[in-house]
Amino acid sequence: MDAVIFDLDGVLIDSEQVWDEVRQSFAAAHGGTWTPEATRAMQGMSTPEWAAYLVSDVGVQLKPDEVSAGVIAEMQKAYAAHLPVLPGAVEAVQAVASRYPVAIASSAPAVLIRVFLDVTGLPVPVAVSSESCAAGKPAPDVYLAAAEQLGVAAAACYAVEDSTNGLKAALAAGMTVLAVPNPHFPPAEDVLAQVRVLGSIAELPDALA
């Protein structure tokens, strides 16, 4: 294998609940009605996709670009107050980066990926947001773009993911996938059956040995 590509939300930062709380609050403040399926439906979506979903399916009374700007601003405030880095995540990326080229392939907007990298100081030369791709996860686009920017074949990459849509995206890209299941939003069992499952991100360096 030639490289390791990390998801961000749920793998390196415990942010899925933050996203959920911010979107729910934003939707409620702008005329939306939250639905039981909304949380899982938006996991992996790119910024344009989830902004459009909040308008079309949740009923937010704003334009999609206004939705994305408002939600991202609230996420920046939340991260400024506390960036929820998962235990062992920084050390795991540092250990892996000492042996492999690494990248981030995330559904998070680029501005929030940059906040994470600035705060942690991690040596990640390539970071791709699906907002710059044609489609978000479960489409493979963001993983394929990260591999291309690293200059390696997708089939020669490990991918580290936590959610159903993220795992599907990495599998569709033809990568060897390791799952660190999100305890708040556990991935589907039939998808987990196709990948190697780790107990925590701290186990990753040894798993790649």
Domain boundaries, the chain: 3-13+84-207, 16-81
Q: Which amino acid is at 161?
A: E
Q: Rounded to 5 degrees, what are φ and ψ at 71? A: -65, -45
**% of the chain residues with pLDDT over 90:** 93
Predicted local distance difference test score (pLDDT) of residue 24: 97
**Nearest Cα to 44, choosing from 197, 185, 192, 202?**
185
Computed over every residue of the chain, the mean pLDDT equals 95
CATH node for 3-13+84-207: 3.40.50.1000
How is residue 23 annotated by DSSP? H
- The whole-model pTM stands at 0.91
pLDDT at 184 over 90: no
Buried b / exposed e across 45-84, counting CB within 10 Å, b at 16+? Answer: bbbbbbbbbbbeebebebebeebbebbbebbeebbeeebe
In three-state secondary structure terms, 85 is strand
pLDDT in tens, 10-21: 999 999 889 999
Q: Which amino acid appears at position 43 of this protein?
A: Q
| Mean pLDDT value of segment 198-203 | 96
For 103-120, give the DSSP string.
EEEESS-HHHHHHHHHHH
pLDDT for residue 183? 86
Q: What is the pLDDT of residue 202?
A: 95
pLDDT at residue 105, as a whole number? 98
Token pair 């009605």 is found at 33
For 16-81, which CATH class? mainly alpha
Amino acid at 112: L
Strands 3-6 and 176-179: unpaired
* pLDDT over 80 (residue 52): yes
